[in-house]
Chain A
């Protein structure tokens, strides 16, 4: 009996590592939350996406880092991290996409959720599911959240282009976002939130929109490379 139990214990621990999901970010009550976001909905579907299970998953994971422009957190942004995409339907028509990510903030993890237009991939609403921050009230203010409505991942890539080539350009919608007024201690969480939105958009572009905004990324990248070459 003992040896059987020991074998079973070893077997559990020896299961392939890819099977063990790390941290995901899910809606705690999907039906309630999705209904709130899309009052006209009739059903919703959850899809779990994990890099290890995707074809070229490793390549996509390194692409995430490149597009995010910063190192990935070893706890919240691992290769094994699962991502749940919620597709919202009215009858047979897809009327929305909702996705959340975890990003490390100063006061703990920040859970950044976006609801998207399924056709244009534009942000419909941006909200925090969890936000423990000294600037929580300011960051949750409607005035701040509403500024992201209508933005796409393309706008974030354009921002990369403009800050390199034409700082202050009127077409730079991301640069035009006004941060709420908060105590300096809230600054890291503001920056973490922006990073969370960007990460969220990149992942949705990978999982749902087939890397639709890659041409914007490529152009911004080329501009940055040119600028770098000029400096040299």
Chain B
């Protein structure tokens, strides 16, 4: 800019000035080439000479050298002071609220409604060096008007009107053998011996890994056993880096904890460790369950089978199940396929359960579609089978299931029924959980 200004102002002495300017340009060009050759990093720096010098020096001198000896850290953020009650309800305490509104109708125009408000509370208990236990409770206040056998409300027939329902109610004690072990032994057994007592998903199939509390689509346990949660106690943990285990004694009574002469159920499940889910999108397991349970209400076969043994409450039960789920990212989203297969006996009657499910979730996590085929076949009684299609619109869809908000339309077509006509049931569900 300086050269241009001189050119305009000086006018008649053009040639002399031009020569001077050419000399200046030549010198500047040489200097720039030299700088360019010697210090390439400077080329990207600002043109200001002083800054160039600073910058060149910065490449060689650590500008953070004086911070190498870091000042002592400030205290970690203080928790607001609170009473013991506040501590109990705030420290390592999670609380979620839930709202569900569901309307369904069959092809004959029979309508039903379920409205509920619920919550889930999770509290963890710790010492200075270990988390020892956690407690989870999940419940709902429900209002039902009418009933259609929608997958996620098979118990609803027995609870018209207002009801308070509990769902999860269990205590986990972690590393229960620690008080008996040396430090070295504790290290060897960490995560291996955890105790659970209370009410939770039946440890059969994928339900332990899958929270179906809010969804319309369910896995196969409810149809297989007449309940998808039961009261139980036993151990869970990791056998090896590849395999997890669950070993429980179940009351076999379903919703309420009752002992009416049934011996209860023993259940073992071996499943793939979580790393298979994270690294390969794969979950799966082998489940074995056997013993005696109280037969649930509203299952047609109960009456027929009960006649066989003369006691309408107890059903001798044996099951072996194999399950798997594979999740694969596709260019526009996520594809998941799931299958649960199980066979066994109720009394002397053989049965076979199948469930196949495919889900697609768009990459935005704002919408998804699912389809499921499920079939429960029992020797001498025929089969119940359905094909289900579902479309979901998500306002929020957290992968950890801790922040959910959606609307779903679910249509189930019953293609086989042990008893009664085949129905088509359409369900509209609104769900909020945060």
A residues at B contact (CB < 8 Å): 1-2, 5, 8-9, 12-13, 15, 19-26, 28-36, 39-48, 53-57, 60, 75-76, 82, 87, 89-92, 102, 106-109, 111, 128-134, 136, 140, 154, 158, 161, 165-171, 185, 206-216, 219, 227, 230-231
> Which 9 A/B pairs are nearest by Cβ-Cβ distance?
A31-B191, A210-B73, A43-B130, A212-B73, A9-B117, A42-B186, A55-B78, A210-B74, A166-B58
Query: If the complex has contacts A5-B162, A44-B131, are A55 and B74 also in contact, measured as CB distance less than 8 A?
Result: no
Of A108, A111, A208, A212, which contacts B365 at CB under 8 A?
Answer: A108
Whether A134 and B331, one on each chain, are in contact in the complex, defined by CB atoms closer than 8 angstroms, is yes
Query: CB-CB < 8 A to A230: which residues of B?
Result: 46, 48, 51
Whether A211 and B74, one on each chain, are in contact in the complex, defined by CB atoms closer than 8 angstroms, is yes
Query: CB-CB < 8 A to A207: which residues of B?
Result: 76-77
Whether B70 and A89, one on each chain, are in contact in the complex, defined by CB atoms closer than 8 angstroms, is no
Query: CB-CB < 8 A to A216: which residues of B?
Result: 64, 67
Query: If the complex has contacts A42-B190, A43-B186, A171-B62, are A107 and B162 also in contact, measured as CB distance less than 8 A?
Result: no
Whether A23 and B191, one on each chain, are in contact in the complex, defined by CB atoms closer than 8 angstroms, is no
With both chains docked as a complex, state the minimum distance between the C-beta of B173 and any C-beta of chain A, in angstroms: 13
Whether B59 and A158, one on each chain, are in contact in the complex, defined by CB atoms closer than 8 angstroms, is no
Query: If the complex has contacts A35-B191, A108-B334, A109-B398, are A20 and B95 also in contact, measured as CB distance less than 8 A?
Result: yes
Q: CA–CA, A203 to B121, complex, Å?
A: 25
Q: Is the C-beta of B278 less than 8 angstroms from some C-beta in chain A?
A: yes
Q: How many chain-B residues does the 8 Å CB contact rule pick out?
A: 84
Whether A107 and B363, one on each chain, are in contact in the complex, defined by CB atoms closer than 8 angstroms, is yes
Q: CA–CA, A206 to B131, complex, Å?
A: 22
- 15 A-B pairs within 8 Å (CB atoms) are namely A12-B118, A20-B95, A23-B403, A30-B191, A31-B194, A32-B244, A43-B186, A44-B130, A46-B92, A54-B77, A56-B77, A109-B398, A158-B64, A169-B41, A230-B48
Whether B97 and A166, one on each chain, are in contact in the complex, defined by CB atoms closer than 8 angstroms, is no
Per DSSP, chain B at the interface is mixed
Of B63, B74, B141, B334, which contacts A107 at CB under 8 A?
Answer: B334
Whether B190 and A108, one on each chain, are in contact in the complex, defined by CB atoms closer than 8 angstroms, is no
Q: Is the C-beta of B310 less than 8 angstroms from some C-beta in chain A?
A: no
Whether A210 and B76, one on each chain, are in contact in the complex, defined by CB atoms closer than 8 angstroms, is yes
Q: Is the C-beta of B261 less than 8 angstroms from some C-beta in chain A?
A: no
Q: CA–CA, A216 to B70, complex, Å?
A: 10
Q: Besides A8-B141, A107-B334, 16 other CB < 8 A contacts?
A: A2-B162, A24-B94, A26-B400, A31-B237, A32-B244, A35-B190, A53-B79, A53-B80, A89-B129, A90-B183, A108-B363, A140-B279, A206-B76, A214-B74, A216-B64, A227-B46
Q: Is the C-beta of B300 less than 8 angstroms from some C-beta in chain A?
A: no
Q: CA–CA, A212 to B331, complex, Å?
A: 41
Per DSSP, chain A at the interface is mixed
With both chains docked as a complex, state the minimum distance between the C-beta of A56 and any C-beta of chain B, in angstroms: 7
Whether B41 and A53, one on each chain, are in contact in the complex, defined by CB atoms closer than 8 angstroms, is no
Query: If the complex has contacts A33-B274, A91-B183, are A20 and B434 also in contact, measured as CB distance less than 8 A?
Result: yes
Q: Is the C-beta of B421 less than 8 angstroms from some C-beta in chain A?
A: no
Query: CB-CB < 8 A to B164: which residues of A?
Result: 5
Whether A36 and B241, one on each chain, are in contact in the complex, defined by CB atoms closer than 8 angstroms, is yes
Q: CA–CA, A133 to B79, complex, Å?
A: 37
Whether A41 and B97, one on each chain, are in contact in the complex, defined by CB atoms closer than 8 angstroms, is no
Q: CA–CA, A132 to B384, complex, Å?
A: 36
Chain B residues 178 to 208 lying within 8 A of chain A, measured CB to CB, are 178, 183-184, 186-187, 190-192, 194
Chain B residues 91 to 130 lying within 8 A of chain A, measured CB to CB, are 91-97, 99, 117-119, 124, 126-130
Query: CB-CB < 8 A to B80: which residues of A?
Result: 53-55
* Nearest B residue to A2, CB-CB: B162
Of A12, A40, A75, which contacts B97 at CB under 8 A?
Answer: A12
Q: Is the C-beta of B90 less than 8 angstroms from some C-beta in chain A?
A: yes
Q: CA–CA, A85 to B54, complex, Å?
A: 41
Q: CA–CA, A24 to B318, complex, Å?
A: 39
With both chains docked as a complex, state the minimum distance between the C-beta of B140 and any C-beta of chain A, in angstroms: 10
Whether B79 and A29, one on each chain, are in contact in the complex, defined by CB atoms closer than 8 angstroms, is no
Query: CB-CB < 8 A to B186: which residues of A?
Result: 42-43
With both chains docked as a complex, state the minimum distance between the C-beta of B109 and any C-beta of chain A, in angstroms: 27
Query: CB-CB < 8 A to A42: which residues of B?
Result: 183-184, 186-187, 190
Whether A166 and B55, one on each chain, are in contact in the complex, defined by CB atoms closer than 8 angstroms, is yes
Query: If the complex has contacts A136-B329, A169-B58, are A20 and B73 also in contact, measured as CB distance less than 8 A?
Result: no
* Nearest A residue to B278, CB-CB: A129
Whether B118 and A210, one on each chain, are in contact in the complex, defined by CB atoms closer than 8 angstroms, is no
Query: If the complex has contacts A161-B63, A168-B44, A210-B76, are A45 and B129 also in contact, measured as CB distance less than 8 A?
Result: yes
Query: If the complex has contacts A29-B244, A210-B75, A216-B64, are A43 and B402 also in contact, measured as CB distance less than 8 A?
Result: no
Whether A15 and B238, one on each chain, are in contact in the complex, defined by CB atoms closer than 8 angstroms, is no
Chain B residues 9 to 63 lying within 8 A of chain A, measured CB to CB, are 41, 44-46, 48, 51, 54-55, 58-59, 62-63
Q: Is the C-beta of B174 less than 8 angstroms from some C-beta in chain A?
A: yes
Query: If the complex has contacts A55-B78, A158-B64, are A107 and B174 also in contact, measured as CB distance less than 8 A?
Result: no
Q: CA–CA, A75 to B131, complex, Å?
A: 28
Query: CB-CB < 8 A to A131: which residues of B?
Result: 278
